[in-house]
A and B are shown apart, each in its own frame.
Chain A
Amino acid sequence: MSYAIEAKEVSVQYKDFTAIDQVSFQLKAGKIHGLLGRNGAGKTTLLSVLSAFRKADNGTLTIDGENPFENPRIMQDTIFIFDQQKDLEYTYDKVGEMLKEMAYFRPNFDEAYALQLVKKFKLPLNKKVNQLSKGKKSAFQAIIGLASRAPLTIFDEAYLGMDAPTREIFYKEILNDQEEHPRTIIFSTHLVSEADYLFDEVLMIHNGKVLLQGTNEQVISEGFSLTGSLEQVDAFTEGLEVLNSQVLGGTKSVMVYGGLSEQQRIAADQAGLEIGNLSLHDLFVHLTKGEEE
């Protein structure tokens, strides 16, 4: 079971600061969606609205066709995993006990799978949660998020404190379990380069607005790289939106935002320019660059 999401003109205001500014998007059911944005872009605020932790000030939001706010069915079927390091400092129950408790609240919780994950993440079942290291606390939360198999599962930078091998296990488990038990997963991150292979679709937000949305391939095809002699690259990119450029001797390499027509592609080939793909990371970094850079 998985839920589709539709947001129309959703806004959230904090006094005189607009955290989410009339965003509209659709998230398909049963996919892994990467929510990308820099610190303060509005990711967590948006996720709070999706998980019914907060009411949107304007706009309409539907999850599985219904408004999620104060909707017991949608709220029960949504799990929101966010940084709870501070809260877990005061959790004196043992890991095993806590996981058992979760099984009580979440209808699809798979306790056997949770125990498998405990082994994979090397969590001590008999240790109190507050005594776990930062990375292990995050792993504990990741286990709850995965094993709950909620139709809408939200991970908001859930990897904080995990070391690289643990993050790798986490990402692989998301992919494996999603394949066997499809659900809608929203994975918010700014560690784009290491997690981009997870995403079926990408929603990039910046300053509270949607910057890009589409399948991973569609989003990546929004930009390309061009390498060649300095003069030819300059001539070719005139009028194009150049995100970044590097010059090494007489060679210039640029990142360009925008699609490339077939004619342009042929012209580039004839000019001896090398066309390459941009990574999601490149696009994210350069599209969300602020004035400070």
Chain B
Amino acid sequence: MNPIILSSKKIAGLLFKEQVKWTIWFLSFMFVIYIVVVSFASGPHSSFIDLANFSNGSSAIYMLVIGILTTSTFFYYYMQQGAARKNFFFGAALTSVLLAVVITIMLILLTFILEFAAGWTGWNIHGQEFDFTSSISEFIYIFVSFIIMHLIYFLIGWMIGLTFYRLGWLYGLLSIACSILLLAITGILIEVTHFSFFTNMIHLPAFIAFPLNIVLIILLFGVNYRLIKDVTVKI
């Protein structure tokens, strides 16, 4: 008997390799756009360098899009290559966590590089909206917040993609409505996210927000597993 080639671990490795490639492309474009904007703009525009402003909105949406594509692109492909749904799910789940970590690391590195380059070239740009350089604890707080935010956006995208794939456009639209609600909740739970309705009204301390984030992540993994575990591969 041949060993199983497309195990969860193997799928995670292949997906991660591919998605990191996409991510590098995405961040490169972001970087170029940023350089162009900063070169031509001055004054308040240059505060765009801020970690959150520079990256957060677009990187979260990027994760959402990757999540949406997970089903129509990656799932479909690996099913054709003889993968089992369960193996794909666990592979993609592992990749989503890894990618959330990696994109956060890349963004922070880019921000440091930009800060350094700004100081060196004498660009007039101010520091971060989020303070992640003053202390280790602040850094960890921001770092983990970004990872969680990226992961949640990915999982929401994955849920939308899966719902459209499995249940058609009507339920798909409902999943988008549901996602807006979830993003609003994420807005309350995670300070760094840009998409929030109630941040000014409600402020949850970290020791409440983090466990709630974990609950939300587990819930999204659960929903996605339910949607994928016996889904029909459309041909």
Contacts and interface: CB of A to CB of B under 8 A. Distances in A.
Interface residues of B, number: 22
A43 to B, nearest CB: 12
Contacts of B41: none
B233 A53 contact: yes
Contacts, number: 60
Nearest to A76: B82
B235 A44 contact: yes
Given A70-B84, A105-B81, A76 B2 contact: yes
Contact of B5 (A78, A80, A87, A105): A105
B1 interface: yes
B4 interface: yes
B232 interface: yes
Interface string B76-95: 10011111111100000000
Given A54-B232, A82-B235, A76 B79 contact: no
Contacts of B81: 102, 105-106
B6 interface: yes
Contacts of A69: 230
B235 A77 contact: no
Given A77-B82, A82-B235, A55 B5 contact: no
Interface string A89-108: 00000000000001011111
A61 to B, nearest CB: 14
B9 to A, nearest CB: 13
Contacts of B82: 75-79, 105-106, 150
A76 B6 contact: yes
A87 B83 CA distance: 18
Interface residues of A, number: 27
Contacts of A166: none
A73 B1 contact: yes
Contacts of A176: none
Contacts of B84: 52, 70-72, 75
Which of B7, B80, B82, B233 has the most CB atoms of chain A within a 10 A radius of its CB? Answer: B82
A230 B229 CA distance: 62
A102 B78 CA distance: 11
Contacts of B233: 48, 53-54
B11 to A, nearest CB: 11
Interface in B1-60: 1-7
B5 A104 contact: yes
Nearest to B229: A70
A107 B87 CA distance: 17
B5 A107 contact: yes
Nearest to B233: A53
Which of B6, B86, B87, B235 has the most CB atoms of chain A within a 10 A radius of its CB? Answer: B235
Contacts of A104: 5
Interface in B74-133: 76, 79-87
Contacts of B232: 48, 53-55
Nearest to B81: A105
Contacts of A72: 4, 6-7, 83-84, 87
B6 A105 contact: yes
Interface string A19-57: 000000000000000000000000010001000111100
Given A69-B230, A70-B229, A76-B2, 7 more contacts: A48-B232, A53-B79, A55-B230, A73-B2, A76-B5, A104-B5, A105-B82
14 contacts: A44-B235, A48-B233, A48-B235, A53-B79, A53-B233, A72-B4, A72-B6, A73-B2, A76-B2, A76-B82, A77-B2, A79-B82, A80-B80, A105-B6
